[in-house]
Structure 1
Amino acid sequence: MDTIPSLPAKLSPSLTEREAITDALYRFLVGLDTNDKTLFESAFTPTASFTVNGRNAQGLSALHDNCFTPVSKLDTTHFTTNMRINIDTSGTKASMTCTGLSQHFRKGKGLQPEQPRLLAGSLYYLDFVKDSDGTWKIDDWKAQSTWAEGDWAVIQEVLTD
């Protein structure tokens, strides 16, 4: 998407710890929805693991191949809510549970009526670590879809390209 600019990975003024942890998740989702590779990458550790419905990608390169590249070929929006965050006593690790909705259309078809689409509701569990510069990043993400409506082919087509 070229019309909506992205904000930088580091926001001003400084965020609270909980806001900064949540922001790592938002950087991933907004980076994905706006095809912003830099913002997407800022959300993850280099060795991050991402598992969706049992399908695992390990490391930033695999996240690009199995998530960013295929999904950025679609018209998407991702939303999260019901976030609960636990920060460990060291202050450098945290975990989150939340729920998400993700809407997927074929590229350029999102605003056209009666297009095939896939809407999915999912439960998320994420582990975060604080980087040496103080930036929170996702180290492990498990997503399990609990329901879906629409056409799975919309997303399966880009996963097999």
Structure 2
Amino acid sequence: MQAALSLTTREAVADALYRAVLAFDTDDQALLDSALTHDAVFDLDGRIMNGLDAIHSECFATVSKLDTTHFISNVRINVVEGASEASMTASALSQHFRPGTGKTPGATNLMGGSLYVIDVVKDEADGLWKMKNWKMKLIWSNGDWGVMSGN
């Protein structure tokens, strides 16, 4: 995946987050990998995953198989033009259903509201901004946590 030349620096930084959540929603591991550094750290509300392999096995393998959507808003980016590092914060709303039940009326689900704090770096090899540290703090949840574990 090559960096889109039409994106401003701020848009390209935010695109790392957008690629990651879209990857979870569409079960696209290659897209997720384009959004994270190889040694990325994902802090999922205190559960730490170090590196792509851990993120794949401990999070992506489960969440990407669910009927799920993530909505991102209130993105704030701190970047200096020409720099190779930046940070951002965002609010996220996620909704998860067991596989194949997202369109079923009355299906159990889990919805959550989170705050993200993210450090990103520019990968000079492909020109893409990638998340190096992604901290997700769950603020609230509503629904059945069994959705996440298949129960």
For the superposition of Structure 1 and Structure 2, which TM-score range results when normalised by the shorter chain? Answer: over 0.9
Gaps of 5+ in 1: 1-8
- What is the CA-CA distance between 1:68 and the residue it aligns to? 1.1
- Given residue 54 of structure 2, which amino acid in structure 1 is its aligned partner? A
Residue 37 of structure 1, CA deviation: 1.1
Counterpart pick for 2:110 among 108, 118, 121 = 118
Aligned residues: 150
Query: TM-score scaled to structure 2, two decimals?
Result: 0.94
| Structure 2, unaligned runs of 5 or more | none
Name the % identity: 49
Secondary structure class of the residue paired with 2:121: strand
Query: Counterpart of 1:141 in structure 2: which amino acid?
Result: W
Report the equivalent of 2:148: 155
Structure 1 runs (4+) deviating above 2 angstroms are: 9-14
Contact 2:9/2:81 (<8 A) preserved: no
Q: CA deviation at 1:14?
A: 2.6
1:101 corresponds to 2:97: no
**Contact kept? 2:3, 2:128, Cα under 8 Å:** no
**Contact residue 114 and residue 137 of structure 2 kept, 8 A:** yes
Which one scores higher on RCO, CA 8 angstroms, separation ≥ 6? Answer: 2
The Cα RMSD (Å) is 1.5
* Superposition map of 1:1-161 within 5 A: 9-10=1-2, 12-88=4-80, 91-133=83-125, 134-157=127-150
String of CA shifts for 1:84-125, please: whole Å, max 9, x gaps: 100157611000011000000000000001111000000100
Distance 1:149 1:85 in 2: 29
